[in-house]
Amino acid sequence: MKKKLSRRFLALFLTLVLLVPNLAFAIENDGAASEQAEAPVFKDVSVHDPSVIKTGDTYYVFGSHLAAAKTKDFMQWDEVANLVNPDNPLFENVVEELKETFDWAESDTLWAADVIELNGKFYMYYNACKGDSPRSAMGIAVADNIEGPYKDQGIFLKSGMWDEVSPDGTIYDARIHPNAVDPDVFFDKNGKLWMMYGSYSGGIFIMEMDPETGEPLPNQGYGKKLLGGNHSRIEGAYVQYSKETDYYYMYLSFGGLDSTGGYNMRVVRSENPDGPYYDAEGNDMINVKANPDLPIFDDASIEPYGVKLMGSHLFKREVGEAGTGIGTGYVSPGHNSVYYDEATDEQYLIFHTRFPEKGEMHQVRVHKMYMNEDGWPVVSPYRYAGESLERVEAADISGDYKFINHGKDISAEIKQSVLVTLNDDGTISGDVTGEWSLSGENEATLQVDGKTYKGVFVRQWDPTSEEYVLTFTALSNEGIAIWGSKTASQSDAEIVAAVKNDLSLGDTTNVISHLTLPTTGLRGTQITWQSSHPEIVSDDGKVTRPVGKESVTVTLTATITKGEMTDTKQFTVVVLPQKEGKLVAHYAFEDNLKDSTGNVTDGAVTGNRIDNTGGTSAFAEGKVGQAAVFDGASGIRLPDGLISSNKYTVSLWLNPQELNKYTTSFFGGSSNTKWISFLPMGHDGVANDTMLWSGEAWYDAGTGMKIPANEWSHIAFSVDNGSIKIYVNGEEKFAGENFPDVFTTENCVFALGVNYWDTPYKGLIDELLVYDAKVLTAEEIKAYYETGEIPAEAPGEETPGTETPGEETPGTDPPGEETPGTDPPGEETPGTETPGEETPGTETPGEETPGTETPGEETPGTEPPGEETPGTEPPGKETPGTEAPEDVTVEPVDNEKETTGEKLPDTATSTYNTLLIGAIVLIAGAIAFLIVRRKTTAE
């Protein structure tokens, strides 16, 4: 009986021994799967300058242009309100209620708002600014419900009273006094209420507030200055107290907010809410300001200071890499707020950002933050997708990473990732060298090129590869942030196969411009090209279109090489013949919108934007016969593809009834960054002169004069492969080189009087002539102005090989994809912001517009683009009634897609743990078996 019992025990034990490793493996896999989880789902929204507040289980953000949105998880957002108009639900009629504010600020929109809960009600601190000067007003509106309606309680602070006494009793001076904008109202740890505010001009200030009324305590003037001055580009202050470190952290945005302004987020800290504030190097921020002896908005004076958390960057996707597109990154991220969850001790950074190759379109983004060993916040590299800090094993860390160093500069440069390797032995190799180490559960220390960075390792969702990856984020004592994102390990053979599979030239069935031929791919893969007809398409992609009427088919062969591995891939390219230069369209507007040449279709009436309907068509006495009447709310959409080369001439007669900055008379474009716009009245960068403007490289072609209102003026401009000339009334007014190639594609859109963002043209237009592949001479233009005789429609002197060198591949930018003209420079411009899309010509001249920064001290009404100016913000500053086409968006994660990520790889550590468990059970079982057997024998 006892022998049977011993045998049964042995059998049971052996069964358990066999099962334990499998159970451990199952538990391990289940844990990995739980870490992996399902792909996150995002729903995005556009709120510029988002300020966060939580009520109940919902987070709200309020921002510029009376925009607001809400979320329960920081991932899926819903719009609550947008645009300053009578229909905005936050007020019963904001236009009427805040009339005093708009009148003082000479503006029709609002800037960054802040909402705080006081005494059971919600207090909105609103503000409006003229923009081209710091003439601003700030007030309070109160509501019982966070979503309104809010009731105005009046203005409590003003700025910009030129040559008048300011609240501190001295004559207002914008170099030392604040601009009354961008409020942040907060309680300190002792229950005192404060308001921090200011932007450019005299710097950032703080005032103590009355918690009963929400207004400033008396006799403070403008309050206490904390940093900035002399028009240094520092704004968007937001304060968050940390129980973990017992510091007050002031978050700031340095630089200009448009896509070329170098906007970036920084942080400084203090033991007291009203300072003094210091950066990581111990610099007292009260001394940080622009050099008055240098040109206005001198960024060089301020860029060494503050802890830079994030600037423009791109985790670059290479040919052959998982995912699609160019990668994941931001352009000019900034004007943030912070939410600290006291229950979990977790922090969230909420900000707006633009995106690489997406112009001025902006959206809200949220990233988690963690305190590093030195008590400074480090920002996770990717947007928040529900992650939290977890234990990281050293064995999981080694591998290849995309690496970004954010530096300390303020520039339009997008910091692109490079490849580094964190080796098993704790060294770092690749584009940077050094050492790495892990302490605690996830604390990271990296020595990179002689500098020490401290932060954390954290698993995050990579939106490009659509999988969870290990990342690191760390800061140096100099206040510089570095990020890393782990990439998959692949053999040379796998890399070559991936590059071959991914390599594409787009639509090559109707080529008319140069091709962009990739020469590198994943992990430094080399790609070389060979053409079957190099006289038509060269080995480096230059296209020489054939003469005649026949297309030529060319075979391009790509040879892909990585190490000892190589493969080839072929592409068939059909190059269209060079067309003859001619007059392609003549719209005489003789009581109709017909083209008299018969080459193209008729024009069509639009509403107040190029892509909407509604508008009216009318005609009146013109320069020659009848002319088209533009009522300031309508435009004319011209046929797509009107111009499809880099040689063209446009001629038209203008009689503007009103002159408004950024209002277009003739508009055309091929993408959201490639467009031209002829402005009867230009922006501040050309002293508001008549100009031709381009959204590619921000080309300002100012004529040095202003055409008059209520008079006829003849305008002609020509582009000849980058050489540009503008004529007014037969006289050359501008000549320049390197004008962007905008139209070398067959899918460009064109319009008269409207674009996607700005105030429509009001006045008359007559006798529109459009020449494609033909450039009129100065003599022909002069003769036409004097005689009215249309220049000959004979073919131009086009010769093979004169097509614009460009990098655009036909078929890669169809209409409805990225929309022309969404990218002009500028600071936030009241009254011109497209809902969700930043609008050209609407951003404050506070953002550096090419050629707009002139040295000298500020004079009333002439403040350079340092203050957000109404009507001056690029496409992307949300402009009432200026909604850009729906297709112009950042490519978001597919909201309908719910895929499950792959399991995280098994590690050496986890395998060791599994074997160890099995060994322990085996030994314990053996001992027990021996004890039982011995006892049995003894009995």
Catalytic positions are 49, 235
Q: Which helix (H) or strand (E) holds 53?
A: strand 51-55
- Give SS3 for 240: strand
Give 333: exposed, middle or buried? Use CB within 10 Å, 0-12, 13-18, 19+: buried
What residues are paired with 207 via a beta bridge?
195
Distance CA 385, CA 461 (A): 6
CB 830 within 8 A of CB 113: no
Distance CA 862, CA 852 (A): 11
Q: How far is CA 781 from CA 504, 652, 717, 769, 777, in A?
A: 44, 11, 9, 11, 6
Distance CA 194, CA 521 (A): 53
- 457 torsion bin: left (phi>0), alpha (psi -120 to 50), beta (else): beta
Enter the DSSP assignment of 389. Answer: -
Give 41: exposed, middle or buried? Use CB within 10 Å, 0-12, 13-18, 19+: middle
**For the chain, how long is the longest CA-to-CA vector?**
130
Q: Which of 890, 803, 840, 882 is nearest to 675 (CA)?
A: 840
3-state secondary structure 803-870: CCCCCCCCCCCCCCCCCCCCCCCCCCCCCCEECCECCCCECCCCCCCCCCCCCCCCCCCCCCCCCCCC
Q: Which of 836, 819, 816, 817 is nearest to 876 (CA)?
A: 836
What residues are paired with 250 via a beta bridge?
239, 268
Q: How far is CA 667 from CA 306, 477, 637, 711, 758, in A?
A: 42, 49, 10, 21, 11
Enter the DSSP assignment of 523. Answer: G
Q: In what order do the strands lie in the sheet with 552-562?
A: 526-531, 552-562, 565-575
Burial annotation 784-801 (CB, 10 A radius, 16+ → b, else e): bbeeeebbebeebebeee
Give rounded-to-5 percent helix, strand, coil for the chain: 10, 35, 50
Contacts of 847 (CB under 8 A, 6+ apart): 256, 257, 258, 260, 261, 825, 826, 827, 865, 873, 874
What residues are paired with 452 via a beta bridge?
447
Distance CA 407, CA 398 (A): 24
Contacts of 213 (CB under 8 A, 6+ apart): none
Give 344: exposed, middle or buried? Use CB within 10 Å, 0-12, 13-18, 19+: exposed
Distance CA 492, CA 525 (A): 9
Q: Which helix (H) or strand (E) holds 338?
A: strand 327-341
Distance CA 272, CA 649 (A): 63
At residue 721's C-alpha, the angle toward residues 715 and 726, to 5°, is: 20
Number of H helices, E strands in the chain: 7, 48
Q: Which of 639, 625, 616 is nearest to 591 (CA)?
A: 625
How far does CA 203 lie from the centroid of its chain?
Answer: 25
3-state secondary structure 742-808: CCCCCCCEEEECCCCCCCCCEEEEEEEEEEECCCCCHHHHHHHHHHCCCCCCCCCCCCCCCCCCCCC
- Give SS3 for 9: helix
